[in-house]
Amino acid sequence: MTDLRTELRIERVHGEAETLLQDWQYVHNLIIPADPLPLDAVRERSGRNHLEVAYLGDVLVGCSTVRPPSEDPTIATVIARVLPEYRGRGLGALLHESNMAKARELGATAVETVVLGSNPEGLRFAEAHGFTVIEEYLLEPGDTVPWFTLSRAVDGDAQR
């Protein structure tokens, strides 16, 4: 049996790493087709957020985002994305662990995550990891697929 902890390679995305930027963009745009990002937007995000891409060996399997606390200095946003064909193997949990460690490092005591309603696996994953829905909304007038904001404490399963 493969030990995913030793097999999974997580790389930090930064503005000069073109391949990492493109890989992060690919995963994001595949999983969030309602909000595709051009490469320049990914590059800009890599300067203000903690972006990572995940590989099993040399195979791209996912990406993640940690947005540092801003308005409320106690809340960070964490998002783990795993390509559909690699879900159900524990990769999302490992990305989530990495995200939570970064949120703690940034001083957050609570985290939020955002999931597109067309991703029921993402909603189930978030809820299984202690997140509770705190908001449902449409990004743009005329949109039909809702977004969900979910929240939890950094340590433990309690909602903020």
pLDDT digits (tens, 9 = 90+) for 91-120: 999 999 999 999 999 999 999 999 999 989
Tell me which of 31-35, 93-97, 143-147 is least confident.
31-35
List, in sequence order, the alpha helices (H) in 12-119: 18-31, 39-48, 91-105
pLDDT band at 157 (very low <50, low <70, confident <90, very high): very low
Find all residues with CB under 8 Å of 108, minimum gap 6, and list them. Answer: 69, 74, 75, 76, 154
Question: What is the set of domains in the chain, with CATH numbers?
Answer: 4-153 (3.40.630.30)
Q: Which DSSP helix (H) or strand (E) runs through 110?
A: strand 110-116
CB atoms within 10 A of CB 4: 14
Residue 109: its pLDDT value, please?
95
pTM of the model: 0.90
pLDDT at 14 over 90: no
Residue range 33-61: mean pLDDT, rounded = 95
